[in-house]
Structures are given as C-alpha cells and as structure tokens.
Structure 1
C-alpha cells in the first residue's frame, strides 16, 4: 500500500500548442505557470494541468476520454460564460443525486466537465 499525499499534475495531449494555450488561458481563464515550445503547464485549482505535443517525443496523439472535472461555484453560470465564448457543450447540463455537471471538449477533443457537488464546502 502507498500513501498518496496529493495529485501533482494531470496531462492532456495537443496537436497545436498555440491553440491549446489560447483555449486554456483565454477561454477557461487558467493561470499559465510555464510555457515551452512543446509543452506548457496551467494551474487548475490545486492541480497542475500539463499539456504537451506528443509528436515532440515521437509518440502518437490521442485525446483524453477520461477527462477532468473543474469544480466551479455555479455550473449554469460557468456554462453560460463559456458558451458566450463559443464553447459547445455535449448535451444538456446533467444532475445526479450528488452533483450537477456539464460536459465539453477542448479543441483537441480532451474531455472536460464543469462540476459541482451538492455537499461541496
């Protein structure tokens, strides 16, 4: 058994670093922490989001279908703000017994979700 203290980072792949940089910084409003020719890192709450071009390491591209849930104060307000910036969502906002969520993709097809648990502090 191991002791996990924290998730340090998640990685998404991109084919186009400038396009991904625009989406994550200008559309989503995430803080850019580091910026390179083939990779960059953004602050997403308590986690770092690493985005890199796999071709720079001789690897094939494939979008993340597992995705990342972005905890927001108000899913509907966040969705409206992103739709105003041209983001298209995958269907209607969903609600379960524990949360409210809205799914969308970045320009490379990586799955993202606006999310709020009903019991969130």
Structure 2
C-alpha cells in the first residue's frame, strides 16, 4: 500500500444540527456538503476537508471519545480564544507559547478538541509540500 494524501480529517459528533452551526458560524468554516441521510457534513479546510459524522452502523465511534484533534491556523490565538469564550465555547487549554508557535485548545459541543495554532514565523498549512 502507498498512501497518496490525507483526503479528510473526521470527527464523530452526536448531532449535526448542533455541530454544523458551531463549525460554520462559530469557527467560520465553509460548509461544502451536508448529507443528512448519511449523518455527514464536510467543511473546506484546504488542502484537505474536515468531515463530521453522526455515529451509525457503519461507524460506531463515540463523539468526543477519541484522541485525535484538528489544528486550525489563526492569526491571533489569544484573540480567537477571547472571541470563542464570548460564544460560550469551552477552553480546554489556555494560550501558551512553545518557542515556535502559540497554541490553545477549545472544545466543540461534543468535547472534541480543536487546537488553535499560530506559527511564530507567520506560515500556515503544510510547511514542506511534496512536489
């Protein structure tokens, strides 16, 4: 097997009617597709996609129960945390500096962690893309 790329990152959520507005309106992501009959929604996160799915027979995952997370690049981590706090978003980890980036962690309505991230060098996305 030879993996070619990451096609999407997926979170299991308990309810798309709660999760979609959080990701679309609170986090400002662009909703690309929503398939209610499959319990599935996709958001544009170039160069990939963030997918949300409700648990079902083909994917019995538990919302908020995984150890994976997605990191969203933001211009100002502290400002992003302040804005999300005003929306009553749970802050799991306050902003901190690592020496190469600033990070904070917030939670979606199911408790899935979302990393807010700003590199000190101002770059974002994949740093060393393959040719």
TM-score (norm 2): 0.81
Q: Which runs of 5+ in 2 are unaligned?
A: 124-131
Q: Which runs of 5+ in 1 are unaligned?
A: none
DSSP-derived class of the 1:57 partner: coil
- The residue that corresponds to 2:62 in the other structure is 61
Q: How many residues align?
A: 120
Deviation at 1:75, TM superposition (A): 0.8
1:96–1:58: structure 2 CA closer, same or farther, 3 Å change rule?
closer
Taking only aligned residues, the RMSD between alpha carbons, in angstroms, comes to 1.9
Which structure is richer in relative contact order (CA contacts within 8 A, separation 6 or more)? 1
Contact 2:12/2:53 (8 A) holds in 1: yes
> Are residues 1:18 and 2:17 paired?
yes
Deviation at 1:30, TM superposition (A): 0.6
Which residue of the other structure, out of 70, 79, 82, is the alignment partner of 2:81? Answer: 79
DSSP-derived class of the 1:92 partner: strand
- The residue that corresponds to 2:120 in the other structure is 118
Distance 1:49 1:106 in 2: 13
TM-score (norm 1): 0.87
- The residue that corresponds to 1:32 in the other structure is 31
